[in-house]
């Protein structure tokens, strides 16, 4: 099992030049597997934006597409006006030192972090919240997270995928306040009609609230995918 951070997430630094688009990050993950001399995966799992990457990588794999699992998948496209008009100039702005410094200064405020974590709907432990606080004190992490969101074109991904054919399981936290349920249900119906949808008590980071359940689900899906 390989569990990488996405660019600018966790303790992986942001990319210095190319924007972290879905195709670019998917290519980087494939390059990581090659560099580690690993075979093509039978299952790709992702949380939030990572679920979109799982969809992209499985779709691009063609006949040997792996199964996927997405925890609270971020698959609802932004309005077309944002993708066409705002995102192209927002990413360069986010990479400037003043904006990055101000964003990190705001994000490291305990009250801001508390509101952000509470808005996920997840009940996190003090230790888990401490890790988030450590990340939010890093300007490069804040820049990377914002850059990833700015360059994420879900509309293009869904148009390319059309109707997803690989086995897919999506886990939805019943208290998730970040992913709008009605538009997400429409995305499932149009693009993932055969997906299995599971509802778990928890918020946007439900896999962190229920790590043993998440591990058991992944282990079972790996076994199923390997037997295909």
Residue pLDDT, tens place only, 55-81: 999 999 877 889 999 999 999 986 444
Quote the mean pLDDT of the chain: 84
pLDDT band at 146 (very low <50, low <70, confident <90, very high): confident
pLDDT band at 96 (very low <50, low <70, confident <90, very high): low
- The whole-number pLDDT of residue 81 equals 41
CA distance 150 to 91: 6
- The whole-number pLDDT of residue 75 equals 94
3-state secondary structure of 46: strand
- The whole-number pLDDT of residue 224 equals 81
pLDDT at residue 150 above 90? no
Share of the chain above pLDDT 70, in %: 83
Burial of 175 (0-12, 13-18, 19+ CB in 10 A): middle
Question: Which whole-number Å values give the CA distances from 174 to 95, 112, 187, 201, 206, in the listed order?
Answer: 35, 24, 18, 5, 9
CA distance 76 to 104: 27
Q: Which two tokens stand for residue 124?
A: 């996190």
Question: Facing residues of 69 across strands?
Answer: 45, 169
> Computed from CA positions of residues 148, 151, 155, 158, in that sequence, does the dihedral angle turn out positive or negative?
negative
Question: Which whole-number Å values give the CA distances from 191 to 70, 116, 162, 164, in the listed order?
Answer: 14, 30, 6, 6
> What number of CA atoms fall less than 13 Å from residue 178's CA on the CB side?
23
Q: Of 99, 131, 103, whose CA–CA distance to 11 is shortest?
A: 131
- The whole-number pLDDT of residue 86 equals 44
Share of the chain above pLDDT 90, in %: 45
* Total-model pTM: 0.86
CA distance 161 to 148: 20
CA distance 25 to 12: 13
CA distance 76 to 191: 11
- The whole-number pLDDT of residue 104 equals 64
Please compute the mean of the pLDDT values over residues 103-125 and round it to a whole number: 82
Question: Facing residues of 200 across strands?
Answer: 173
Q: What is the pLDDT of residues 5-14, one digit of tens each?
A: 887 777 777 6
pLDDT at residue 227 above 80? no
Please compute the mean of the pLDDT values over residues 211-217 and round it to a whole number: 96
CA distance 90 to 93: 5
Please compute the mean of the pLDDT values over residues 100-107 and round it to a whole number: 65
pLDDT at residue 82 above 50? no
Backbone torsion region of residue 121, taken as left when φ is above 0, otherwise alpha when ψ lies between -120 and 50, otherwise beta: left
């Amino acid at each position: 099992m390989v569990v990488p951070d996405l660019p600018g997430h966790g303790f992986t630094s942001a990319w210095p030049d190319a924007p972290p688009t879905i195709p670019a990050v998917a290519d980087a993950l494939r390059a990581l597997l090659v560099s580690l001399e690993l075979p093509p995966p039978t299952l790709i799992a992702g949380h939030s934006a990572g679920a979109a990457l799982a969809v992209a990588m499985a779709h691009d794999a063609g006949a040997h597409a792996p199964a996927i699992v997405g925890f609270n998948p971020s698959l609802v496209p932004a309005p077309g006006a944002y993708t066409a008009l705002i995102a192209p100039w927002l990413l360069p702005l986010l990479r400037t030192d003043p904006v990055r410094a101000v964003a990190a200064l705001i994000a490291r405020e305990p009250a801001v972090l508390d509101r952000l974590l509470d808005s996920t709907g997840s009940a996190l432990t003090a230790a888990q919240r401490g890790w988030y606080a450590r990340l939010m004190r890093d300007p490069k992490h804040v820049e990377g997270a914002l850059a990833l969101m700015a360059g994420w074109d879900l509309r293009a991904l869904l148009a390319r995928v059309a109707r997803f054919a690989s086995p897919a399981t999506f886990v939805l936290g019943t208290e998730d306040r970040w992913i709008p349920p009605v538009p997400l249900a429409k995305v499932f119906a149009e693009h993932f009609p055969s997906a299995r949808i599971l509802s778990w008590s928890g918020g946007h980071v439900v896999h962190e609230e229920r790590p043993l359940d998440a591990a058991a689900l992944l282990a079972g899906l790996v076994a199923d995918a390997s037997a295909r």
